[in-house]
Amino acid sequence: MAYLFNTPDDIRSMLEAIGAESIEELFEQVPDHLQVEGLLDLPVGFSEPELEMHLRKLAAANCGGSSRVCLMGGGVYDHFIPAAVDEVASRGEFYTAYTPYQAEASQGSLQAFFEFQTLVCQLTGMEVSNASLYEGGTAVSEAVFMAMRVTKRYNRVVVLGSLHPEYQEVLETYLGNLSCQLDVIATPDGAADVNIVADTLDEETSCLVIQHPNVFGALEELEPLCQAAHDVGALAIVSFDPLSLGLLKTPAECGADIAVAEGQSLGIPAQYGGPFLGILACRQAHVRQMPGRLIGQTVDRNGQRCFVLNLQAREQHIRREKATSNICTNQGLLAIRATVYLSLLGRQGLVDVAELCCRKSHYAAERLGELPGFELMFSRPFFKEFTLRVQGDATEVINRAAEAGFDLGPALGRFPRLRESLGEAADQTLLVAVTEQRTREEIDRLVESLAATSEDSATPQTLTKPA
């Protein structure tokens, strides 16, 4: 809204109402040494043309994704976004809409969220989806709390060490003031050992959290891991890559009880690291413990189809002790982007994008593995992302690639939790993600540029697997 200064009459009226003679009298209680005397030492203001020129110079210092070749991974990816996604999501009805408290006034928004839920259920094989959460990290934590309520086990949570370290940090924060033990199972070989996981779980465990594909890009043995959780009465929570389901079995088919995801790959730009989209779906049996909003379909008194808020079990609407979450809202606009994106792709389009990601990433891994001092860190199957080990410092390789116009990474040494799993190799490893956007020519140029600068790389070292 427009900001209007108070007029002298406004000021006089307010001072009379509170019984003060002047504005200065209001600040007499503030010690003199804390009060500013005179005018602030600010530079002279720009004229409008000068201001526009200054902002253009600042903007030119930034480098957009379209001007470079992005092979960065770690949870945010450079996927193609059809123009129709921006066009639909930018409509005023969606772009300026607030949360749908009044269902009768928000039928368009409610229908869009209903379609989003339907698509998520079709994607995951689950029976119920909510209308979105904040992003992937909080979706994992909300799923853990949901599992604790379902199993009525509040003392122990187990996660694989191949879960994204930032997701682990969010979960650790959520559990920080609760008497709940968080155990992390190390994955030094890039994925979990099912036997070790089974031996670690017990009847106190509320849930097992699995990322598939995991933070290293590798695929976990998902079905036996879910079964290991069920054998001790725990729930299996799977954090998945939405586009990977164009090729892989759905979480439901693999035995997951709750499926969560970061939805950034579904028509959402990288936009400097957020905001993003949290996805959560589950089995019908657990719907009463699901956080967030659930949109339902019914008919009105005239027999016309309409949409309603079936479930909204949050603190603002029910007693705090009955609430499933203190999440205040949902990522409505980003959920609409994901809805449009999935609608445009369709079933076959999803398969096509997944196949392109898979084939191109394996081509890149093969070509990079031909370079002296470069190798795949793990011999595990992967989808579109893999962990590359190099001689010397991984950050130095990332910088060399950046000078040639290619963005790789992140280096895994930046994550303390992954350092524990990778040992001395942590500083030599980085992620490479190859989406449908990349071309064979770009991958070949990356390999050529790294080969051309390899003479300036670190002294060759013996590559040894971590203990």
In this structure, the answer to whether residues 287 and 423 fall within a common structural domain is: no
In a domain, 256, yes or no: yes
In this structure, the answer to whether residues 309 and 401 fall within a common structural domain is: no
pLDDT in tens, 218-265: 999 999 999 999 999 999 999 999 999 999 999 999 999 999 999 999
Cα–Cα distance measured from residue 262 to residue 279, given in angstroms and rounded to the nearest whole number? 6
In this structure, the answer to whether residues 327 and 383 fall within a common structural domain is: no
What pLDDT sits at residue 454? 72
What pLDDT sits at residue 215? 98
Cα–Cα distance measured from residue 140 to residue 175, given in angstroms and rounded to the nearest whole number? 12
Contacts of 163 (CB under 8 A, 6+ apart): 140, 184, 209, 210, 211, 214, 215, 239
In this structure, the answer to whether residues 247 and 140 fall within a common structural domain is: yes
What pLDDT sits at residue 420? 81
In a domain, 40, yes or no: no
What pLDDT sits at residue 38? 85
Here the tokens at position 39 are 């005018």
Question: Range of 419's domain?
Answer: 66-78+347-453
What pLDDT sits at residue 100? 57
In this structure, the answer to whether residues 197 and 326 fall within a common structural domain is: yes
Cα–Cα distance measured from residue 161 to residue 258, given in angstroms and rounded to the nearest whole number? 19
Taking phi over 0 as left and psi of -120 to 50 as alpha, with beta for the rest, 190 belongs to left
How many CA atoms lie within 13 Å of 319's alpha carbon, on the beta-carbon side? 2
What pLDDT sits at residue 460? 45
Cα–Cα distance measured from residue 430 to residue 453, given in angstroms and rounded to the nearest whole number? 18
Cα–Cα distance measured from residue 238 to residue 140, given in angstroms and rounded to the nearest whole number? 9
Cα Rg, the chain, nearest whole Å: 26
Instruction: Dihedral sign for Cα 387, 393, 395, 397, please.
Output: negative
What pLDDT sits at residue 463? 47
In this structure, the answer to whether residues 266 and 305 fall within a common structural domain is: yes
312-341 burial: b if 16+ Cβ within 10 Å, else e: bbbeeeeeeeebbbebeebbbbbbbbbbbb
In a domain, 407, yes or no: yes
What pLDDT sits at residue 466? 43
Contact 183, 157 (CB under 8 A): yes
Q: Where are the alpha helices (DSSP H) in 125-250?
A: 136-151, 165-175, 194-200, 222-231
What pLDDT sits at residue 317? 63
Q: How many CB atoms lie within 10 A of CB 76?
A: 21
What Å distances lie between residue 192 and 208, 229, 238, CA to CA?
12, 13, 14
In this structure, the answer to whether residues 300 and 410 fall within a common structural domain is: no
What Å distances lie between residue 203 and 194, 200, 230, CA to CA?
17, 10, 10
What pLDDT sits at residue 459? 47
Here the tokens at position 86 are 């921006």
What pLDDT sits at residue 261? 98
Cα–Cα distance measured from residue 339 to residue 343, given in angstroms and rounded to the nearest whole number? 6
Bridge partner residues of 293 (DSSP): 312
In a domain, 321, yes or no: yes
Backbone angles phi, psi at 209, to 5 degrees: -105, 125
Domain CATH number, residue 310: 3.40.640.10
In a domain, 50, yes or no: no
| Residue after which a domain boundary falls, among 319, 341, 363 | 341
In this structure, the answer to whether residues 323 and 364 fall within a common structural domain is: no
In this structure, the answer to whether residues 337 and 238 fall within a common structural domain is: yes
Domain CATH number, residue 378: 3.90.1150.10
| Residue after which a domain boundary falls, among 313, 341, 369 | 341
What pLDDT sits at residue 309? 84
Here the tokens at position 99 are 């949360």
Beta strands per DSSP E along 337-449: 374-376, 385-390, 406-407, 429-433
In a domain, 14, yes or no: no
The number of folded domains in the chain is 2
308-309-311-317 Cα dihedral, nearest 10 degrees = -140
In this structure, the answer to whether residues 315 and 351 fall within a common structural domain is: no
Q: Which of 148, 116, 140 is nearest to 129 (CA)?
A: 116
In a domain, 4, yes or no: no
In this structure, the answer to whether residues 352 and 444 fall within a common structural domain is: yes
In a domain, 41, yes or no: no
Mean pLDDT of each 10-residue bin along the chain, 467 residues long: 81 94 91 88 93 94 82 96 95 74 72 96 97 94 96 98 97 94 95 98 98 98 98 98 98 98 97 93 95 90 91 66 71 94 97 98 98 96 98 95 95 92 91 98 97 64 44
At how many degrees (to 10) do helices 394-403 and 440-452 cross? 110
- The DSSP secondary structure of 12-51, one letter per residue, reads HHHHHHHT-S-HHHHTTTS-GGGS--S----PPPPPHHHH
Q: Which of 231, 230, 253 is nearest to 240 (CA)?
A: 253
Integer distance in angstroms from the first to the last C-alpha of the chain?
Answer: 60
pLDDT in tens, 100-159: 555 556 888 889 999 999 999 999 999 999 999 999 999 999 999 999 999 999 999 999
| Residue after which a domain boundary falls, among 341, 366, 397 | 341
Here the tokens at position 375 are 């190798």
In this structure, the answer to whether residues 215 and 73 fall within a common structural domain is: no
